Amino acid sequence: MNAIISASELAGDLAGGNPPVLLDVRWQLSTAKAAGAPAFDGRAEYAAGHLPGAVFVDLDRELAAPPGREGRHPLPDLAEFGAAMRRAGVSSDRPVVVYDGGQGWAAARAWWLLRWTGHPDVRVLDGGLRAWEGPLSTETPVPEPGDFEPVAGTAGLLDADGAAALARSGVLFDARAGERYRGEVEPIDRIGGHIPGAVSAPTTENVAADGRFLPAEELRARFEALGAAGGTEVGVYCGSGVSAAHEVLALAVAGIPAALYVGSWSQWSSDPERPVAVGPDPR
């Protein structure tokens, strides 16, 4: 099953006999608050217009636990996550399609969480809301409660020690912008740089100008050139486990399984005992 779905395919599925549950996860990483500007309000964007029948999901409150020692977007409490998904109408026997405003990061976080906790059929709308050509709605649906019960996966998740080990034994991709990887700038976390051994692979380079993913063969060629070839074990991290989920999704499109370090740089860099590398060289 493909991990993404086009807008035209989605329109066809919505007209079919078992239409997918739609989750709207509009969110943006923003430093606007520090500059005195209002932060991005995904719920307000949703209220102004969304795919008909879509339910809003709050990334910060429903797809992550509060910030702390585990990072800025730690794994959510599974009981609370499950309750939020059931309120949104998610059931194990019904497909789910997740979208955001077009960047794809937040939708990928929801996709990863649902897949990691056992949902068998989740896809991300390729290109997000910008790709949708159908009508939008301002009505807030009240879906029939779902029955999805999340169960933590036994694979696909890295902690800090696992990420450090994978950077030595396999390939660990850093999905942040190159300047953050190199430690030239760090607008959010305590210190700049990267996990020693990690390879810079900005997730922004996995998509075209319209926000849609590059063709699978191009993605596979990119990741293989960066070291993800020949059955090599792959992991990904970013700032707080959101844009890295988008890179895990891109890897899935390319047919390459990858694990996610959810704590990412926000957790790693907060521990002064963890080593930090700077510059373009992985080590």
The catalytic residue positions are: 238
Cα dihedral across residues 140, 77, 181, 227: positive or negative:
negative
Residue 199: which of 166, 162, 230 has the closest Cα?
A: 166
C-beta separation of 200 from 181 below 8 A: yes
What does each C-alpha distance from 99 to 51, 95, 123, 226, 266 come to in angstroms? 9, 14, 9, 28, 25
Label residue 247 exposed, middle or buried (CB < 10 Å: 0-12, 13-18, 19+): buried
Residue 83: which of 62, 107, 56 has the closest Cα?
A: 62
Q: Distance (Å, rounded) from C-alpha 153 to C-alpha 110?
A: 15
Q: What is the dihedral of CA 29, 32, 37, 39, to 10 degrees?
A: 20
Cα dihedral across residues 189, 192, 196, 198: positive or negative:
positive
What does each C-alpha distance from 255 to 18, 82, 200, 217, 281 come to in angstroms? 27, 28, 20, 9, 27
Number of Cβ within 10 Å of residue 43's Cβ equals: 13
Number of Cβ within 10 Å of residue 1's Cβ equals: 9
Q: Distance (Å, rounded) from C-alpha 235 to C-alpha 142?
A: 38
C-beta separation of 266 from 163 below 8 A: no
